[in-house]
Each structure stands twice: as structure tokens, then as C-alpha cells.
Chains A and B, each alone.
Chain A
Amino acid sequence: DQQVKQNSPSLSVQEGRISILNCDYTNSMFDYFLWYKKYPAEGPTFLISISSIKDKNEDGRFTVFLNKSAKHLSLHIVPSQPGDSAVYFCAASATGANNLFFGTGTRLTVIP
């Protein structure tokens, strides 16, 4: 059962524009969400996270928005740069649980 879904397998954006990557989840017990970025032939690297007590967290060009009622989060990258081209994974966990659930990733291509 896929509890974290990234319905867009790919996204292309022009350099300098905003990239918006979306993630939906089904488990209302999830209270912590993370985004990871993955380059080819490398492991995922942590990008940004958000707790369910917040609806926004910002780190430089990256902002994550959380809409708990819709069970939806999004990652905004602005301005997008060619080096942002990678696969982005959304992940979610619940306090006290022993698992972290990942989405299947969205491949972002930033066109110079």
C-alpha cells in the first residue's frame, strides 16, 4: 500500500523559473516530512524537512509547504538552476513509528 505518492514522474522547467514538486500522503498519523534529492549513481541526500506543526519551512531557494487537511505537501525551488536537475523524493514518518515511507520520486530537469 503506497502511503506516499508523487504522481508526477517528471517535470521540466526553464532555468530561473519556479519548480513545484508535489507529494500526497494517505496516513493522517504522519507528522514529519522530508525531501531528498538524488543524482544518478549517487544515494539520496537530505534537502529540507517540515514538521506537522508548521505549514511552511524555507531554506534558501527551497521552500516546503504542508497542507494537512489536504494531506499534501509541495517543494518549491526558486529560482531553478541546472544543478537542481535530479530526482526528488518525498518521505513521511509518524512519531513513534519505525518506518519512513518514500514516494517514487519526481525527475526534475532544469533547462538552461
Chain B
Amino acid sequence: DTAVSQTPKYLVTQMGNDKSIKCEQNLGHDTMYWYKQDSKKFLKIMFSYNNKELIINETVPNRFSPKSPDKAHLNLHINSLELGDSAVYFCASSATPDMGEKLFFGSGTQLSVL
């Protein structure tokens, strides 16, 4: 039973399109995140939600909009996709928003923008 699941696993799309990535966790955690791993393998936080409220937004373009309908779900919607958005996006959760708390990651979504 997957603890943090995200879909789709692969996403290939054209520039200018709008796409969404879904994430769900069944760990009962209060905090969820989106991380981006770029071509240089840097894992960087994009957003963090605690109990459905946005607590971290790390200078991500407005084209990226997270949505948390409840504390078990954090979806990522991306408008007007650009070539530079190609990356692997990881959803994660933790019991608390403490940055030292261990993270549980999903398996990632490989986004390729053509």
C-alpha cells in the first residue's frame, strides 16, 4: 500500500499546454510538499502546505498553482508549460512542517515539455 502516490508517472506534452499532477498520502501527515529535480539533479522545494494552508512558496512562477482540497491531497497545476519546466516533480509529506522532519516521497512525475 503506497504511502505517497502521485500520478501520472510520465507526462509528455507540448509547450503552452496546461497540465496537472495529483498527489495523495495515506500516512495521516499534516504537511505536504512539491519538490522539483532539475536536469542538474538539484532537488528544490517549490511549495509546502500544512493542514491545507500554504506555508512555503519558493519563488515559483505564477504558472504553477498548488491546490490542497484536504490534508491528504496536494495537486499541482501548471499553466502555459515551457521547455524549462521539464524536470522530475516529487510530492512528499511529513508529520509536521519542521524542516528537520523526515520526508516521505512519492515516486516522481517525469515531465517532458516538447
Chain A interface residues toward B at CB < 8 A: 2, 32, 34, 36, 41-46, 49, 51, 89, 91, 93-95, 97-100, 102, 104-105
The answer to whether A93 touches B103, judged by C-beta atoms less than 8 angstroms apart, is: no
Contact A32 B44 (CB under 8 A): no
On chain A, the residues within 8 Å of B41 by CB distance are 104-105
Complex interface: chain B residues within 8 A of A43 (CB): 4, 90, 92, 105-108
B25 to chain A, nearest CB (A): 12
Q: How many contacts between A and B, using CB within 8 angstroms? A: 56
Report whether B4 and A46 are in contact in the complex, using a CB–CB cutoff of 8 Å: no
For A102, the chain B residues whose CB sits under 8 A away are: 42-44
Which residue from B43, B58, B99, B104 sits with its C-beta under 8 Å from A46? Answer: B104
Whether B99 contacts A97 by the Cβ 8 Å rule is: yes
Within 8 A of A (CB), among B22-78: 40-45, 48, 55-56, 58
Chain A contacts of B56 at CB under 8 A? 98-99
- Nearest Cβ distance between residue A75 and chain B, in whole angstroms? 15
Q: How far is the CA of A44 from the CA of B106 in the complex (A)?
A: 8
8 Å CB contact of B58 from A36, A49, A99? A99
CA distance A97 to B77 in the complex (A): 26
CA distance A104 to B42 in the complex (A): 5
Taking CB atoms, residues of chain A closer than 8 Å to B107 are 41-43
Partner of A49, one of B45, B100, B108: B100
- In the complex, which residue of chain B has the Cβ closest to the Cβ of A32? B100
Asked, given contacts A43-B90, A89-B43, whether A99 binds B99 with beta carbons under 8 Å apart, the answer is: yes
